[in-house]
Amino acid sequence: MKTLSPLIAFFLFLSALNAQATIQITNVTGSSAWDNTTTTAPVIFGGTAGTDCSATAADIYSTCNSCASLSGSFAACNLTRIYDGLKLRISFKTDSIENGVAFIKNSDGNAISVTPAPISRSKGEVHVIEIPWSNACAGTDKVTGSSCENATFTGNLTLGVSSDTDTTEDPLSLSITVFDPDTNDSGDYDTILACTDSLVKEGGICDFQAYPGDEKIFINQLEQSSGFPGFGGITIKTLRFFVGSEEDPGGFVTDPNQGFFVDLEVGTDANGQPETTSRVIEGTNNGVLHFLRVATVDQANNVSRFTSNQAIIDYCKDINNPDDGCIFTAKPDEALGLLEDDLNCFITSVAYGSALDSRVEVFRDFRNQVLNQSIFGKRIIALYNTYGPHGAVWLQNKPWLKPMVRMLLWPTLGFAWASTHWGLEATALLTLLLISLVTLSLHHVWRQTRVQVSHEK
């Protein structure tokens, strides 16, 4: 009998494995998004940012666009917004039940009524469950009543197939996440202020640098407010750049429906820090000034934290007529195609021969650690991003000038190095002292020369 024990244990182990869920979700419609790649339960997202737009939906199986109603203003919204009457349609199959009927149960394990009623299907065939979002939200026991509106939560339902011949079930835990960035916050996450503003909201991009390329714009110095990219129980998956131009609509877009937008996916860098997988805005025209705002798009497709008018005023002085130092504008140019895509220390890189030269790194550190810490410094960076590429292209075609430019850059290089090591204030004070000493010395030499010439006469 003792020799049989290991065999019995092995068969019990196999039975336990066979009892595990073999449900595979093949498609979900009527949701803002869904994710079947998680290591735990699949997640279905319902975004509810913006006003109820159900009246504009094509049918009860289609989400609606709450951004479409915005005109001349920005507010959190969703291009695939859910609503209570929207039918959530889940298609799936099982490889363990020979013949059975699909079911969906609430958090208490009780069956949720489904219309139309599921029919029996064979192993490997696709089952379909359809329920309105109001029933899905109520089934999680996370809302009061049966409405998904004005709610933010994550709850669970159970999806599965029950056998026609016995009590065997093949269940799968299903996570339901409903999210509105402005739940209980009365529009606080519609827009975002400048990073330098003490009232800046969490989880967004509070400023960035735009600089020109050939029929493209490069995004540099993305600055995050606290909590980015995860905030409020959900993750920011995309940065959406809204692009206007001096041709259309004549400046910065004033709502999400003007101009065009480009999505940059948010991933992680080599150090595990949040980073976009691309920094390039395509589709822009050479010789045309472009104006950019950015917003965040979360896993439930809610669009929020648009660059505010106040942030543009802080960095660009005038939203209708931004100055040349505006960090949110760029004018692409064909000549700039000569530069590398990531060459953002233009003149110094050309002068020293490489963007990786240690002296270029000093200037880059000065930009990041000193200039980028103030609005005035950001304007200097933006001016450099506007005119620096043209200077770099001009210098690149005149190699005989490079030694002279390198010589002229030495004082600036010293100032940049000292600022990053001793601080801007100490360096500025020391520089003024040195200039004063040099000026006094030159003045003294000049006076002595005049006296000597006078005596000779």
pLDDT of 163 reads: 96
Residue 51 has pLDDT above 70, yes or no: yes
**pLDDT-derived band of residue 344, with 50, 70 and 90 as boundaries?**
low
User: 371 pLDDT band (50/70/90 cuts)?
Assistant: confident
Q: Regarding predicted confidence, which is higher, 57 or 457?
A: 57
> Of the ranges 259-263, 317-321, 358-362, which is most confident?
259-263
pLDDT in tens, 241-250: 999 999 999 9
CATH of 191-418, one of 2.40.50.140, 2.60.40.1180, 3.10.20.740, 2.60.40.10: 2.60.40.10
CATH 2.60.40.10 fits 21-48+83-179, yes or no: yes
More confident residue, 258 or 37: 258
- Looking at residues 141-160, what average pLDDT do you find? 93
Confidence category of residue 274, pLDDT binned at 50, 70, 90? confident
User: Tens of pLDDT along 177-200?
Assistant: 999 998 766 668 999 998 888 888
More confident call, 384 vs 201: 201
Question: Which of the two residues, 174 and 195, has the higher pLDDT score?
Answer: 174
- The pLDDT assigned to 355 comes to 52
pLDDT for the residue 16: 44
- What is the pLDDT averaged over residues 349-360? 61
- How confident is the model over 61-81, as a mean pLDDT? 97
pLDDT of 342 above 70: no
Position 2 pLDDT exceeds 60: no
Q: What percent of the chain has pLDDT over 90?
A: 50
Residue 4 scores a pLDDT above 80: no
Output the furthest CA–CA distance in the chain (Å, rounded). Answer: 129
pLDDT value of position 221? 77
Residues 400-412 have a mean pLDDT of 82
Q: Which of 208, 316, 225, 318 is nearest to 262 (CA)?
A: 208
Once rounded to an integer, what is the mean pLDDT over residues 313-339? 82
Q: Is the pLDDT of residue 454 over 80?
A: no
For position 6, what pLDDT does the model report?
55
* Low-confidence winner among 170-179, 242-251, 389-398 (lowest mean pLDDT): 389-398
Q: What is the mean pLDDT of residues 160-182?
A: 94
Could you report the per-residue pLDDT of 201-228, keeping only the tens digit for each?
Answer: 889 999 888 888 889 998 877 888 888 9
Q: Greater confidence, 13 or 426?
A: 426
